Structure 1
């Protein structure tokens, strides 16, 4: 029977834990509590107190068709960006895992996008996919009006999906590569000896063994798409055109900081938090059942 490890100096343990607990309380629980309180009150735009109104703000938000439009766009954005990012990262990881020439350089190059801040990614994609410059301008001259994110909502949504997916590829790539390198080579060699080609080995051997990694990245990518997409949207489209890219997190900003309605913005942030928790619960409750860890 193994003896359980104990930490005899409780004061030292508390001192080591205290900074992290303070950070969590100050930057997570305190703001969440304030947002929850504000969602049940009417906050005056320029201060001066607030008034308790119960569920009035929630009813106002849930009866707003513009808000439901932002929910629809956010769901499409999160699913599309997560699927595209995971697919691209898996393909890159499979190529690097096969130890192609220069694979060490490729590892660094594929991870670099994740090191860039979201506004920088948005600014780069805004110029690369500008309809009046570069390659896109040449395509528009051949096919007039084919691509114009400034006027076409579908083009604008596609552009921020591409930017979000590209920014997450490096993060997903590292996890997929680590998962692939943990698979015994003898298993893949046995598959090759049985006549399985590279694609068949990926589909029948590597993908099932990557199920825990895939599930983890699915949760992280969807959560990130709902929460950390503000920088890309603000730089690339500013929620336009005609609110076609007004995601839930961006609507919180426009209502709270531009519209000076702190109570309405707090209500939307609480709903967004509940939605993310519900999506995470559904993923762990239903999707994780199909994940095998052994």
Structure 2
């Protein structure tokens, strides 16, 4: 009587799934920093723009009172905007282009035929976005402080706000990036499809231009999307309280930030469920 062969399919327990996901994080981070164009356009680009704005408007004081008092430097004014842009680029833009490329070049099909659970794949992707986004934010803050003499907040409550806004922002943008990855028809077209979307969002959401300086109808359109709220929350961390009076609703409205970001997180999860396909080898 021949012995019954044991099943070749490994049992996928929750600890195994998480462990595989964490190993994918290391792999994804290494792969990220090996791609020069990706590092420039998602990791270093906000730092480059902060440097350009800080130097170009070095003699300009933003938010100055009529009597010449108050106001902040250009570096202080643009730091929250570049932190918000960095989250968008690291999460939504990089994630959507990366997955679209992997779908096009057969990587997803190869992974689909491996024992890797789809949840582990996403843990790796989102973990990479979180780590690189955190490192990017740290570099931006340190350069702003030590190179451009930006005074950082001393109130612990502001850093608590920064923490939850950053975590929620990265998670939401990463999930939306997964959903948006289904939009390009191929990996070659991914950059030409995704980058214009993120670029337009940055211009209408108060990243490169003063938000309240935009037409009201354009402000209302931007308020539909999460970047406007993300930038507003970052301004609440790094700008003086007097600046909230020039926000769209005259306040930082952190409650509104939380509601809108959570709403887009839910929308992203639902959209990603329909947009992403774990391609099996026999498909």
TM bucket, shorter chain: 0.3 to 0.5
Larger Rg: 1
TM normalised by structure 2 equals 0.34
